[in-house]
Every structure is written in C-alpha cells, then in structure tokens.
Amino acid sequence: MSDAPEVKPPVVTPVRVVIALCLLAPFVAMLWVGSYATTDPTFIGIPFFYWYQMLWVFISAALTMTAYKLWQRDQRARKGGAGS
C-alpha cells in the first residue's frame, strides 16, 4: 500500500524511566520553591536559600552525567540485540 517505513512507538524500559527521573529531579527540586524558601540553616554564613540552589548545580551535573551514561549503555544494548 504505502512505501513509508513503519514507525514503531518508543519502548519504555526501567532504564529509560531512571533516565527520565534523573533529568526531571532538578526541575522539580528547583520549581518547588516553598521547600527551600528559608534562611536557616546557614552554611558558613550563607543562607539556606542560596546554598541549596548551588548544591543543586552539582547534583544536576551528576544526574545529567548518570542519565547520559545510562542512555549510552541502553543504545549499545539495543544495537547489539538488533544485530543478533
């Protein structure tokens, strides 16, 4: 009928769910301002509001790297399985 290739829906796997959670966590943490809109506890004189956000810079970098490494592993596994 049609010469167009069949488009398969994306596959949801546990690894991909973990990847999504790694990428979603920083957004949720930063958008939920009520959870960190306070000055106490202070850390070396810096109010909680500021050092919490700066901590999430490092946490976000680690989660993004984790998501990337998991994605690479997932893609290698899919290519290896498709060729067999």
Q: Do 53 and 38 contact (CB within 8 A), yes or no? A: no
**pTM for the whole thing?**
0.79
Cβ-based neighbours of 39, under 8 Å, separated by 6 or more: 47, 48, 49
Q: Do 63 and 26 contact (CB within 8 A), yes or no? A: yes
**Average pLDDT of the chain to the nearest whole number:** 88
Asked if the model's pLDDT at residue 18 lies above 90, the reply is: yes
